[in-house]
Amino acid sequence: MPAEMLVFFIFVLSIFLGFELISKVPSMLHTPLMSGTNAIHGIILIGGMMALAGAEGFIQHVAGFLAVVLGAANVFGGFMVTDRMLQMFKRKK
């Protein structure tokens, strides 16, 4: 099996695993779970930046750029949702 097929197979399996794990989480725990995974997404963002720095071809540059952009959107969006969730628990004046 070529290396690209193995990477694609792992990617598809991770999609199914992620969907199954998230679908089993009760709705009350989604936001705390998201705030807990923001640190992991930050690490993924740094990994995407490092992969983009070592990219050699056009396709690798495009894939790395998309990984960094989508990772950054995920991190910042997660922090915004967490902030809105925390605003719900503040006392009203």
- Residue 77: which domain range? 3-88
Asked if residue 67 is part of any domain, the answer here is: yes
Question: Exposed e or buried b for every residue in 56-73, given b needs 16+ CB within 10 A?
Answer: eeeeeeeebeebbeebee
Asked if residue 15 is part of any domain, the answer here is: yes
Q: What is the mean pLDDT of the chain?
A: 81
Instruction: Provide the whole-model pTM.
Output: 0.59
pLDDT digits (tens, 9 = 90+) for 39-64: 777 888 888 888 888 888 898 888 88
Which structure tokens are listed for 72?
């950054």
- How many domains would you assign to the chain? 1
